[in-house]
Structure 1
Amino acid sequence: MRRLAAKRWLSPLGAYERLVAQRELRRDPVQYGVMHEFERLHQELLTYEPPPPVRNPLSGGWLSSFAERVGLGTRREDAYSYVPRGVYVWGGVGSGKTRMMDVFFDAVSRVGKQRVHYDEFMLSVHRGLHEAKQSLAGDGRLAMQFVANRILENGALLCLDEFQVVDVADALVLKALFEALFEKGAVFVATSNRAPRMLYHNGIQRQLFEPFIPLLERRCAVASVEASSTDYRLEIGSGETARVYFVDDRESWEACKRRLAKKLDDHAKLRVRGTSRLVDVPRCDLAARACLFDFDELCGSTVGAADYLAISAAFGVVFLDKIPLLDLSDLNRTRRFITLVDALYESRVVLVAHAEAPPTRLFVQDKLRPGGGNKTDRDEAFAFDRTASRLVEMGSSDYLRRSRARRPPLAIDVLRAPEENFDIDKLFAALDVDDSGFLDYSELAALVADVSELKRGHRNVATQEVDLALSALDTNNDGLVSRDELRHYLLGRPDGLGYFDDFIFYATPLPNGGGGGGGGTNGASQQ
C-alpha cells in the first residue's frame, strides 16, 4: 500500500500538464478527458468531510457494542447523496491508466488516502474476513462491517490498480464489501482492463456478482481510454530494458549479478513469512537485499500471490533465471508468472531476468491448450499483454529510479554513518530481512560480512567469526538476536562502535580457511 507525499501546489490536471510540458508524457486527447474527471473529483474532495472511521475494538467482550457501533440494519442510502462520485478508468494495456491515477493520487492532500493493487487488496480482505468470522461466531455481515472499518482506517479515498475479477471468491464478496464501504463514506477510484459490464464475464455464479455492477456504475464515473492506441510503456524502448533483461546472454547476466549482488551463489538460505506459511528463499545476498530463483522454483510449484508479496517485501532485487517461452498448454505456470510480475511491479522491486525471448515474444499465443481458444484463453492472452508491457517498463530509468527510492537503507550504509548519528533501530531493520523481529544466523552473518568490508576491505568471513558475534549478542542462548539484545550490547560498550573489532580477526590463517584475506563464508546458514 502506498501513501505518497502530495504535490499540494498542483491539481491533477495541472500536474498532468506539467508532465506534458516536461515531455515525460505526450499530450493525448483521450487521457486529457480522463484527467478532467480526476480534476472534478479532486475539487469535490476539497470540501468533503468523510465520516470519522469506526475503530475496531481489539479485545474481548465487545461484540454487542460493536454491532451497535457499526450500525447493522441501519442502511444509509442517503450517504450516496453526499459522498463524491469516484472514477473508474478502463482500457487496454499501456494506455496510461495507472500513471493518471497516480498523478491524481499525488495531488490529493485533504482526505486520508490509500493506493493498493487489487490482488493485494483482496488478499487482505479475505484474510480479514477469516479472522473476523472466527471472533464473531461466523456472522458474515458483522465480519464484513469489521473489514470495511479496517480498510477505512487507512483513508476514505481508496484507489485500486488493475481491478480484475477472475476469482469466484472475490466475486461473491465484492457487492457486500463495497456496499459497506460506500455506506461509510468511501470514495472509490480504480483502473481496469475491463468495462464494468465485462467484469467477471461468463464467470462461475456470475448472477451473484451482477448486482455489484450497477452499484459500481452509480458510485463511479466510468471513463474509457480504449480509444488510445499507444502503449506508453513500450515506448520506453528495448535499449533500457536490456540492462536488467537478458535474452540468451549468460555473460551479461552474470556481470549484472556481480554488480548488484556479490554473493548470490554462496547458497545463503532464508525463509520469509507469507500470509500463512514460510516461503523458502534458496539463494540470497542479505547484505544487498537480493535473491535468486530459477523460474520453476517460483512459477512451477504451488507458490501464490501472498508468497510473491512476502518476497517483494523482503528484497529490493529479484534475479529470475531460465524463464522459458510460455503458452496456454501449461496454464498454471503462465498464471503464476503473471501474478509474480504484478507483485514485483507494485512493490517497485528490481527484476533482473534471464529469458529465452524478449518480453513481447515470451508468450506464444497460437499454442493453445487442447480445446483452447475459449474465453479463458483469450483472457490469459490479454493478461500477458499487460505483463509484457510491465516487463519493459521495469527496465526503464524511471522505474529503476523509483525502485531505489522505495528500498530501505542497507545495513552497510547504516554502519557507515558517523557515530553520533548511529541508529540502532535502523540497523536492526536493515538486517532483519525476513521481518521476523529477530536476526537468525544468516542475517547475523551478513552483519559480520558488512563489518569485514568496512574494516578489512572484503566480505570473506569465517564461521568462527559469526559464531563469536552470536555468542556476544545472544544473551538468552536461543540462537537468535532480538532488537533488545542488539541494543543492550551496543549501549553497554564503553568504546562505542569499536565493538566491531570484536567480531572479526585480523591474523591469518584461521581454521577452516578463515582470516583476513582467506576464504570462509558470507551469509552462512544454519538450518
Structure 2
Amino acid sequence: METLPQLYDRLTASGELTPDPAQLAALPEFERIRAALDTPAKTGWFRKAPEPPKGLYLWGGVGRGKSMLMDMFVASLDVPSRRVHFHAFMQEIHAGMHAARQKGIEDALAPVAKSVTDELRLLALDEMQITDITDAMIVGRLFEAMFAAGVVVVTTSNRVPDDLYKDGLNRQLFLPFIDKLKQNLVVHELASPKDYRQDRIAGSQTYFTPVNAESRAKIDDIWQSLTGGAAKPHSLIVQKREVLIPAFHNGVARASFYDLCGKPLGPADYLALAEACRVLVLENIPQLSRSNFNEAKRFVTLIDALYEARVKLICSAAAAPEYLYVEGEGTFEFERTASRLREMQSQDWAQG
C-alpha cells in the first residue's frame, strides 16, 4: 500500500505537484489517520473495537494547499468517508433539521446527527469558518455526536481554532466546542509562505472591459485554471435566508452582477460571501446611474465587504472603474469604490 508521503513524492517527481516543505510536514498527520483507519478490526466475542485516531485541524493562509492535501488523503481511504465544504455541510444539516421538525420531532438535530454517524467513519470538512450564531449553537452537539460514535473528523480552515466565531454573538456559549475540537483533533499549521492560488493568476489581468466574447473567454480561462472545472452551485445561509452562489469550488466563487446586486441582498449577505470565498469572479458589471441606483448601492456595499476581507476580485465591466458611475446621486461616494477597484487590481493586493 502506497503511503501518502510516497504518493506525494511520486506526484512531485512527475511534475504534477511542486514540492513544498510545509505540505510535506503535514503529510505524517494525514498518514497517521489513514494507517489507523486501514488497520482491520480484531474479531472475537471479547474484542474491543479499536479507539479511533485523533482527527486533524489543518489551518493556514489561503492558497497553501490545504484542500489539495485533504483531497489526496480522502482519495487514498478505503473506509466510508465523505469530503464536503463546511458551508454546504451545514446547509444540509439545517435542511435535515427542518425536515425533522416538519415530522414533529422535538429534538430535530438527533436524527440528523445519527444519519451522519451511521454512514461514515471519516468526515472531511473543507474551509471551516463559523459566522452564523445558528451554526455556532449546532456544531457543538453535532461534533459531540460524531466523536462519541467514533467518526474521525478532518477539517481545513484559514483560522486557528481559538479564532473561530471570533467576536460572535454569545461567543462564550461556543467556547466549549473549541475545547472539544482541540481535544479530539490534532491542530497543525500549514505554514507555507507560498500562495499557490495567487500564483495561478499572478501577473494576469483581473479587470476586463468592455464585456464581450474576448473578455468572457479570458475569464473562462482563469476560472478553469482556478477550479479545474469542478465548481457547482453553493448556498450560504445568512440569518435564515439562502444566498445562492451560482458556481463555487474550494473558496473560489463565480457570479454575475445581477446574481449579487440585482437581488435584495444586504451587508450581512456580502460579509458572509467575503468570509466564504477568497477569490470572486464577478461578471457583467453594467454602466451604473440613477436608473439602477439600488443596484449601484449594493455594488458599493459588496466591494467594501470584499475589500475589507481582502478577497481577490476578477471581473468584467462595461467601463473602467472611474467611468462606471458618472451621473446621478452618489457619484461622489462612488469615487471611493472606483479607487478600491483600482487598488484591488494590483498583483500583490490580496496578499497584504
TM-score computed with the length of structure 2 as normaliser: 0.64
In the other structure, the counterpart of 1:438 is none
Q: Tell me, yes or no, if the aligned pair for 1:88 and 1:223 is still in contact at 8 Å.
A: yes
* Cα separation, 2, equivalents of 1:381 and 1:190: 27
**1:246-292 Cα distance to aligned partner (Å, 9 max, x none):** 511323457649x99xxxxxxxxxxxxxxxxxxxxxxxxxxxxxxxx
- Report matched runs for 1:172-191 at 5 Å: 172-191=137-156
Q: Tell me, yes or no, if the aligned pair for 1:171 and 1:209 is still in contact at 8 Å.
A: yes
In the other structure, the counterpart of 2:159 is 194
Read off the aligned partner of 1:171 and give its amino acid letter.
Answer: A
Read off the aligned partner of 2:18 and give its amino acid letter.
Answer: R
* Cα separation, 2, equivalents of 1:136 and 1:323: 35
**1:177-227 Cα distance to aligned partner (Å, 9 max, x none):** 1111111121100000111111112211111111111211111111001x3
**1:461-491 Cα distance to aligned partner (Å, 9 max, x none):** xxxxxxxxxxxxxxxxxxxxxxxxxxxxxxx
* Cα separation, 1, equivalents of 2:119 and 2:255: 33
Is 1:249 equivalent to 2:179 in the alignment? Answer: no
The 3 A distance-change label for structure 1 pair 127 and 233 is same
**1:145-204 Cα distance to aligned partner (Å, 9 max, x none):** 311122234422100011001111011111111111111121100000111111112211
In the other structure, the counterpart of 1:102 is 71
Is 1:230 equivalent to 2:194 in the alignment? Answer: yes
Runs of 4+ in 1 over 4 A off after TM superposition: 302-307, 321-325, 339-342
Paired residue secondary structure (2:283): strand
- Report matched runs for 1:40-439 at 5 Å: 40-47=32-39, 82-108=51-77, 110-138=78-106, 140=107, 143-225=108-190, 227-238=191-202, 247-253=208-214, 256=217, 306=242, 308=244, 311-312=246-247, 320-321=256-257, 331-332=267-268, 334-335=270-271, 337-338=273-274, 353-354=283-284, 384-385=309-310, 387-388=311-312
* Cα separation, 2, equivalents of 1:355 and 1:340: 21
Read off the aligned partner of 2:169 and give its amino acid letter.
Answer: I
* Cα separation, 1, equivalents of 2:117 and 2:55: 15
The 3 A distance-change label for structure 1 pair 89 and 319 is closer
Percent identity over the alignment is 31
- Number of residue-to-residue matches in the alignment: 274
* Cα separation, 2, equivalents of 1:154 and 1:21: 36
In the other structure, the counterpart of 2:290 is none
Q: Tell me, yes or no, if the aligned pair for 1:94 and 1:234 is still in contact at 8 Å.
A: yes
- Report matched runs for 1:28-39 at 5 Å: 28-39=20-31
Paired residue secondary structure (2:212): helix
* Cα separation, 1, equivalents of 2:255 and 2:169: 37
| Superposed displacement of residue 237, structure 1 | 3.1
The 3 A distance-change label for structure 1 pair 318 and 35 is closer
The 3 A distance-change label for structure 1 pair 24 and 30 is same
| RMSD, aligned CA | 4.2
* Cα separation, 1, equivalents of 2:130 and 2:40: 30
Q: Tell me, yes or no, if the aligned pair for 1:248 and 1:354 is still in contact at 8 Å.
A: no
* Cα separation, 1, equivalents of 2:14 and 2:38: 27
Q: Tell me, yes or no, if the aligned pair for 1:246 and 1:252 is still in contact at 8 Å.
A: no
The 3 A distance-change label for structure 1 pair 231 and 355 is farther
TM-score computed with the length of structure 1 as normaliser: 0.45
The 3 A distance-change label for structure 1 pair 324 and 137 is closer
* Cα separation, 1, equivalents of 2:214 and 2:273: 20
The 3 A distance-change label for structure 1 pair 228 and 353 is same
| Superposed displacement of residue 14, structure 1 | 2.1
Paired residue secondary structure (2:83): strand
Q: Tell me, yes or no, if the aligned pair for 2:123 and 2:151 is still in contact at 8 Å.
A: yes
**1:376-430 Cα distance to aligned partner (Å, 9 max, x none):** x8xx767x44x428x69xxxxxxxxxxxxxxxxxxxxxxxxxxxxxxxxxxxxxx
The 3 A distance-change label for structure 1 pair 134 and 252 is closer
* Cα separation, 1, equivalents of 2:273 and 2:180: 33
The 3 A distance-change label for structure 1 pair 184 and 337 is closer
Unaligned runs of 5+ in 1: 1-8, 51-77, 261-297, 346-350, 357-362, 369-376, 393-527
The 3 A distance-change label for structure 1 pair 179 and 85 is same
Read off the aligned partner of 2:159 and give its amino acid letter.
Answer: R
Unaligned runs of 5+ in 2: 43-47, 222-234, 287-298, 316-352
Paired residue secondary structure (1:188): strand
Paired residue secondary structure (1:308): strand
**1:85-111 Cα distance to aligned partner (Å, 9 max, x none):** 111101111111111111111111x21
Q: Tell me, yes or no, if the aligned pair for 1:41 and 1:86 is still in contact at 8 Å.
A: yes
Higher strand share: 2
* Cα separation, 2, equivalents of 1:156 and 1:164: 22
Deviates more, 1:95-104 or 1:248-257: 248-257
**1:331-358 Cα distance to aligned partner (Å, 9 max, x none):** 346336547868x99xxxxx683569xx
